[in-house]
Amino acid sequence: MVLATSFGTMVVIYGVWYSYSVFLVALIREFGWSRSLVSGGFAFFSLVNGVVAPLTGWLIRRWGPRRVILAGVGVMTLGLCLTGETREWWHLYVAYGAITALGISLNGWIPQVILIQGWFPSRVGSAMGIASGGIGVGIFAMVPLAQLLIEWCGWRWTFRILAALTVAWGLPSALWWIRDPPVGIGGQDGPQSPAASGGTEPFWTLGAAAGTSRFWGLAGVFFFGNAVTQMLMIHQVAYLVDHRMAALTAASVGGAVGLVSIVAKIGWGVLSDRTSRELACTLGFGCVLGSLGGLVLAGAYPDSPMVWGYAVLIALGYGVLSPVFPATASDLYAGPGFSTIYGVLWAIVCLGLAAGPWMAGCLFDLTGSYAVALCIGLGMAVVTPALMWFVAPRRPSIPPARGKGLGGGG
């Protein structure tokens, strides 16, 4: 039930998340804002998501994922409703960039990872692959749906419909369908946890982890890997529309990315459990490299099947992030301090989520082209797997902290 509910939550949350790629086009057309200003709204959204991530991890450790998710449903619904009332650029930044981002942080990836890591500690990669397949379903179903709704009733009502969908799914799932993992597992404090009992079982604290080069290598994996993939996912519709492709067709490409990524996420998760995180990451980012070339060819030949080749490659590459990255963190830092450590790592993820799309928007405004941004993306796609081999999650080290040492660093 927990796995199925996490899957459904991923459908809703990340369907809303990646629908921004079609709202970006609609907002530019209506208000005439620059591409950097509108993509900056998403960048601000990602930054806020990251800034509050350590707080989300702390709240989960104090209260458990279920209560935090319930609060997030309400905040996310409010944010989407307010985004539909946007009249000025700062309205977008406050309603979507701040309020909706806070709701998604409380309702989205971090609590879902804690749930999965707590209930399936020995099969984190496979379980995350299944749960995060919901992200692919969300992209496949909701990105084209958002475009159809925009054409039918306008982007304002589309935001309101997404708000209604959020509460229709999120409220019953948080109230009745999910259960917190056992106390002391998945980063929760409680009477059976080492932090509470005064036990001497070694575990990582945030302070101890942050004092190692491995932690910062993992932070680099999270930052660069998400920056390049998010840049492509957010700007792909605008790029294809710029190259004479119909908006609905370009949105359908985004849907195809989601469809293929469902299988990719599950496959990468299972592969990483059975072989190594390093191998899965390397193969996945080989696909990202191929997708960069595929997107350029799709822009040069918009009527050719090349665009679908791009969709398959970016889906395969993007699909490696959801199961392999949190599984790597779990390999290295599982224990009572995991929720706080992962909250900080998620803040670094969100810096990458913000930097990639914003950088591409700014470079487009400066040069009138995405060419420079794509070249930078190529470099990030090479650095990511190289850092993963440096991190070497297949050889986790013994944590220095014991028992009550969690308090200050945890």
Q: Which bin fits 88, alpha (ψ -120 to 50), beta or left (φ > 0)?
A: beta
Contact between 80 and 16 under an 8 Å Cβ cutoff? The reply is yes
The Cα–Cα gap between 402 and 251 comes to 51
Q: Which of 29, 92, 60, 138 is nearest to 346 (CA)?
A: 60
Size of the chain in residues: 410
Contacts of 318 (CB under 8 A, 6+ apart): 229, 232, 233, 257, 261, 264, 288
Residue 217: CB atoms within 10 Å? 17
Contact between 295 and 373 under an 8 Å Cβ cutoff? The reply is no
Confidence grade of residue 292 (pLDDT, cut at 50, 70, 90): very high
Confidence grade of residue 200 (pLDDT, cut at 50, 70, 90): low
Contact between 336 and 207 under an 8 Å Cβ cutoff? The reply is no
Q: Residues of the chain with pLDDT > 70: what percent? A: 93
Whether the predicted pLDDT of 81 surpasses 90: yes
pLDDT for res 400: 73
Whether the predicted pLDDT of 174 surpasses 90: no
Q: Give the CB-side neighbour count of residue 37, counting CA atoms within 13 A.
A: 12
- What SS3 class is residue 402? strand
Q: Which of 227, 71, 41, 252 is nearest to 146 (CA)?
A: 252
Confidence grade of residue 76 (pLDDT, cut at 50, 70, 90): very high
Q: Which bin fits 399, alpha (ψ -120 to 50), beta or left (φ > 0)?
A: beta
Q: Which of 239, 211, 92 is nearest to 156 (CA)?
A: 92
Query: Hey, CA dihedral for 390, 391, 394, 399, is it positive or negative?
Result: positive
Helix 53-63 with 338-367: angle, nearest 10 deg? 160
- What SS3 class is residue 201? coil
Q: What is the pLDDT of residues 254-279, one digit of tens each?
A: 778 878 888 888 889 889 888 899 99
Contact between 146 and 19 under an 8 Å Cβ cutoff? The reply is yes
- What SS3 class is residue 108? coil
> Average pLDDT for residues 36-56, to the nearest whole number?
85
In the chain, domain spans: 2-174+215-396
pLDDT for res 109: 81
Average predicted confidence (pLDDT) for the chain:
84
Whether the predicted pLDDT of 369 surpasses 50: yes
> Average pLDDT for residues 118-137, to the nearest whole number?
81
DSSP 302-340: TTSTHHHHHHHHHHHHHHTHHHHHHHHHHHHH-STTHHH
Q: Which bin fits 212, alpha (ψ -120 to 50), beta or left (φ > 0)?
A: beta
- Classified by CATH at the fold level, domain 2-174+215-396 comes out as Growth Hormone; Chain: A; (1.20.1250)
Q: What is the pLDDT of residues 6-45, one digit of tens each?
A: 889 989 988 888 788 788 888 888 888 887 888 788 888 9
Question: How open is the CA angle 13-308-275, to the nearest 5 degrees?
Answer: 65
The Cα–Cα gap between 158 and 146 comes to 7
The Cα–Cα gap between 315 and 194 comes to 40
Rg of the chain (C-alpha set): 20
pLDDT for res 197: 42
